[in-house]
Structure 1
């Protein structure tokens, strides 16, 4: 997919959704199953201009085994420099077929430092691509284990240790 195709296709969908009266924030995934951050970084400004509401969130899925912390921090930093909302829409400790490794601890820490939201995947059980990506053994919170328990509860940058109730922001 070219940059022009990415921008043109998303701009058309954004305009169609807004014309239909949908005023909620729209999440724009990167191309290539959310993995192509270059098209996302280079297209964000044009897509924001195409949105009459200027209400877009750009989502990057970090699924490349062996990805460097430099690539992650550079992408996050560029989104901040370009002043658009970035979300790490998916990550796990490895990519499909259990190809290792994705520095998920770094993702959590750097996102916390930079004020970037993230979503971990996959809750499980039953991930057909790689069972080691599952965060639970039975689909219940009390069966969290391994990296899932870290992401949700035990790591210093886990959901439990970094989340704030919205009401506490207004006190």
Structure 2
């Protein structure tokens, strides 16, 4: 380690914790954190996925998702967003972390991704007509036009039109 860098770290770690946090918050990149939920139809062996059609600019279908509130844990935010956008009310413990659980995007946001499975035939979908126009189940092998963000995110899980294309997700599947 170079002497200047070692000295800088030495001084930094001697500072009070509050001051260290203040410095870190101003020095490191800021990210927006969202929660995304991949909801599968348990009656179709998980081969159908719940997607949402939302207002432009997306002009395609999305996964249920939204930004976390201040100090909200990702799993609680995921359950909240799922209920708000689809009417599906699940307890946080009914969600499972997807693998990978967090996807860091180049433009400054992080998606924390969860999975859930519900029976489509007995699950009532409720949308507000403003934030979400439509919610529907789609077979994994016949997905509608996805937004670019959803297509890229689903590719990390080997799903959708980009799943077989090169990208940062390709190294995660073997």
Higher relative contact order (CA 8 A, sep 6+): 2
Structure number with bigger Rg: 2
TM-score by length of 1: 0.26
Higher strand share: 2
TM-score by length of 2: 0.26
